[in-house]
Amino acid sequence: MSEGKKLSLPRKAATPDTSKQRSVGPSGPRARKLQEARQPARTAPAAPPPRPSRPVAADPDGPQRLSKRMTELGLCSRREADDYIARGWVRVDGVVISELGSRVLPHQQIELDRAAQAMQAQRATVLLNKPIGYVSGQAEDGYEPAAVLVTPDNQWEGDVSGRQLHGFLRNLAPAGRLDIDSTGLLVLTQDGRIAKQLIGDDSEVDKEYLVRVQGHLDDKGLRLLNHGLTLDGVKLRPAQVSWQNEDQLRFVLREGRKRQIRRMCELVGLTVVGLKRVRIGRVKLGILPPGQWRFLGTDESF
């Protein structure tokens, strides 16, 4: 080899750079559409379920409907309140309010016009000694309501109210129930205030019953009758239950569930064979004969 002559070596084949290779196939807008069609469709993520809204408690110090406030104060029933408002017989802080749905604050003073007071004074409340075979309210299954007994002929001669009945009393409603096979004191009234006092959800007026029973009752059963029984999944309020004599119990209740005393007795193994209501609040049945009635006296209250 002669000096100065360079030896040429064979060059290695260049390795293709695959990182920059383009895909083989059609290109352009049409190709992009085809590629998008082959890809699975994307779905939007499901929205989270809405959170249940919590009931907003009413503000006891906030405004409330005038008619409701009148009922709470014992001025009248809700229906009577709407009637008095529409007649312009209600004043709030000395101002006549005649628009239904008006609202008031708890501290505001509410007064009834003398015309409303006079109308209330004319509304009757009667005390009836209901016999067996009459229902307390609407007629049912061929049985008559107890209100049909409130006639001039059935007014008790010992009624000292000085009032006489002429014809029939309209809109006379029972303030509480007394079963068809129970007897004793039943209140019927035209006065919404008395109805609310006796059968309202917050009523604290107690009722006394004498109950003849059959069966055996031990000390545990007697304690359960006083407190600890449940009806229809609801725990009963405390009662006062004691022996009146060897076959008769005395019940004092502050609630009036349907056939409550009979069902209470069944739960402790007793059968009721006679039930008589003898007192509601401070008003007693006394010697009022069965099937007769008298007016509630002006000096009486429940």
The catalytic residue among 179, 191, 206, 232 is 179
275 CB-near residues (< 8 Å, 6+ apart): 179, 181, 182, 183, 184, 209, 210, 211, 212, 261, 262
* Residue indicated by tokens 């101002």: 95
16 CB-near residues (< 8 Å, 6+ apart): none
3 state SS of 171 = coil
Which of 77, 208, 197, 188 lies closest to 138 in space, CA to CA?
Answer: 188
179 is catalytic: yes
Q: Would you list the DSSP string of 237-294?
A: PP-EEEEEETTEEEEEES---TTHHHHHHHHTT-EEEEEEEEEETTEE-TTPPTT-EE
List Cα–Cα distances, 72 to 38, 56, 202, in angstroms.
72, 21, 10
82 CB-near residues (< 8 Å, 6+ apart): 67, 100
Give me the sign of the Cα torsion angle 179, 181, 185, 188: positive
Q: What is the C-alpha to C-alpha distance for residues 51 and 302, in angstroms, rounded to an integer?
A: 48
3 state SS of 103 = strand
Instruction: Indicate which residues carry an active-site annotation.
Output: 179
